[in-house]
């Protein structure tokens, strides 16, 4: 196997114990066709020299990687789904394939599957993933990375030659197995499972494992559970702000869809906002708008409370409450810092930064149906350094309205951060790269009707152009 010197497998989760995961086998697929490999992520993991046959062996057939854990592990967890507790969850169509150190960050990365077959937690399902679902996830992770939001990476997409029956799309439909990279597979629901069974010993072991492996700076904390919750609150505040500033609607913010490293993953019925709308809902089955765009911070905080509830078996309520109470302030700070980042501006002090963020959101709200979400940030990237470009573009008349005049006046107080980014060809375009539903459906239509992957490849290239142009710092 042609791995590089960057390839560094480890097995910490496999060593955690039998109460945390079950060994499983992948399904036997009739035909494996490589559709996507993320070469930039593969390079960080030392996997970039694999030829396509080796790639399919490990990420299609799902044979263990050399030196990595020998067993494929379906992780055990519970969770709240639309705020109803479900003790019958767990990895129902995926497993942990390997854990590798990433270069140059040295962070531990988990490689996990989706659509790899049935497990003890499939609950009557077939354990498969539709090819459309895999395509949608690859696009979502690319777009969120481009916009600076913490996200998993889609490492691989292999079509499996199966025909699936699904009630929510025309059937039969094609199937795939997806491999994602995350910085942890441990979810809020992992803690909830052991709290449900009143296993203080397992909660303690899990907490110490997470601190030792993922947050070693906290490993010697006097109160490990409170320290862990505090770090999760910090990182989750940044994650939530990242979603909001990207105009991203997760769709299914259940506790089993949140991990302990503040990272977005497992993309189902997500949507990106066409326009500013706090009531915008991604999932057709979210009829009460529980996870609407504007309610996402509330939903995340509710989930953090459930994690705290699980940890309360091994920590005082007061210590946990102290950590939870930090979320609102941390979220506001992350929103302000994130707004400056999205607008390509340097700080002018806490008060001025907050006023700019508020002015920007007022302008977005005033734009209504005439202003799509992403073009606002594209037009005003690097502040007044883009004023001539914005005022000669397709939204120039809108930017002469009162709310935008106030926003432009605020911009005068800020210096551009790395204004040389505006020289890239991306900012010579009249429109930014977006990932709205019609574009996703168009990509899929070409694949479904003609097996034409050109639009998919071009969309990923266009999103990557945006990523390189914005050049947002990525948490690695």
Q: How many CA atoms lie within 13 A of 220 on its CB side?
A: 1
d(CA 349, CA 303): 32
In the 3-class helix/strand/coil scheme, how is the chain assigned residue by residue?
CCCCCCCCEECCCCCCCCCCEEEECCCCCCCCEEEEECHHHHHHCCCCCCCHHHHHHHHCCCCCCCCCCCCEEEECCCEEECCEEECCCCCCCCCEEEEEECCCCCCEEEEEEECCCCCCCCCCCCCCEEHHHHHHHHHHHHHHHHCCCCECEEEEEEEEEEEECCCCCCCCEEEEEEEEEECCCCEHHHHHHHHHCCCHHHHHHHHHHHHHHHCHHHCCCCCHHHHHHHHHHHHHHHHHHHHHHHCEECCCCCHHHCECCCCECCCCCCEECCECCCCCCCCCCCCCCCCCHHHHHHHHHHHHHHHHHHHCCCCCHHHHHHHHCCHHHHHHHHHHHHHHHHCCECCCCHHHHHHHHHHHHHHHHHHHHHCEHHHHHHHCCCHHHHHHHHHCCCCCCHHHCHHHHHHHHHHCCCCECCHHHHHCHHHHCCCCCCCCHHHHHHHHHHHHHHCCCHHHHHHHHHHHHHHHHHCCCCCC
* Residues labelled catalytic: 256
β-pair partners for 98: 111
């Amino acid at each position: 196997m042609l791995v590089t010197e960057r390839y560094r497998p480890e097995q910490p989760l496999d060593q955690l114990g039998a109460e945390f995961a079950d060994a499983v086998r992948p399904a036997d697929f009739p035909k494996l066709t490589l559709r996507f490999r993320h070469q930039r992520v593969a390079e960080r993991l030392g996997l970039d020299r694999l030829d396509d046959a080796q790639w399919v062996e490990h990420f299609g057939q799902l044979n263990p990687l050399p030196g990595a854990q020998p067993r494929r592990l379906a992780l055990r967890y519970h969770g709240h789904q639309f705020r109803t507790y479900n003790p019958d969850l767990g990895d129902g169509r995926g497993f942990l394939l390997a854990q590798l150190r990433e270069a140059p960050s040295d962070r531990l990365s988990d490689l996990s599957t989706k659509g790899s077959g049935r497990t003890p937690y499939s609950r009557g399902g077939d354990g498969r993933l539709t090819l459309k679902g895999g395509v949608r996830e690859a696009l979502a992770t690319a777009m969120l990375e481009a916009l600076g939001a913490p996200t998993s990476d889609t490492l691989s997409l292999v079509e499996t030659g199966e025909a699936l029956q699904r009630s929510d799309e025309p059937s039969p439909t094609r199937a795939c197995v997806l491999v994602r990279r995350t910085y942890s597979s441990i979810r809020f629901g992992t803690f909830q499972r052991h709290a449900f069974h009143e296993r203080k010993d397992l909660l303690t072991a899990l907490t110490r494992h997470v601190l030792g492996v993922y947050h070693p700076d906290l490993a010697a904390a006097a109160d490990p559970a409170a320290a862990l919750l505090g770090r999760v609150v910090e990182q989750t505040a940044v994650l939530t702000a990242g979603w909001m500033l990207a105009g991203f609607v997760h769709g299914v913010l259940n506790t089993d869809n949140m991990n302990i490293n503040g990272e977005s993953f497992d993309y189902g019925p997500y949507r990106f906002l066409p326009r500013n709308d706090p009531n915008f809902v991604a999932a057709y089955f979210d009829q009460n708008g529980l996870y609407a765009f504007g309610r996402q911070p509330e939903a995340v905080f509710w989930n953090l409370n459930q994690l705290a509830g699980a940890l309360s078996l091994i920590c005082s309520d007061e210590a946990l409450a102290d950590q939870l109470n930090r979320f609102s302030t941390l979220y506001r700070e992350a929103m302000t810092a994130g707004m400056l980042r999205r607008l390509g501006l340097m700080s002018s002090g806490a008060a001025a930064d907050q006023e700019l963020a508020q002015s920007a959101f007022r302008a977005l709200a005033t734009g209504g149906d005439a202003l799509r979400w992403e073009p606002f940030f594209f037009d005003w990237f690097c502040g007044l350094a883009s004023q001539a470009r914005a005022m000669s573009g397709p939204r120039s008349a809108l930017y002469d309205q009162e709310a935008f005049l106030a926003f432009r006046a605020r911009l005068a107080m800020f210096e551009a951060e790395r204004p040389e980014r505006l020289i890239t060809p991306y900012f010579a375009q009249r429109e930014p790269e977006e990932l709205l539903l019609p574009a996703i459906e168009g990509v899929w239509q070409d694949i479904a009707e003609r097996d034409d992957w050109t639009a998919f490849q071009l969309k990923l290239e266009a999103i990557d152009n945006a990523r390189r142009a914005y050049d947002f710092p990525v948490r690695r």
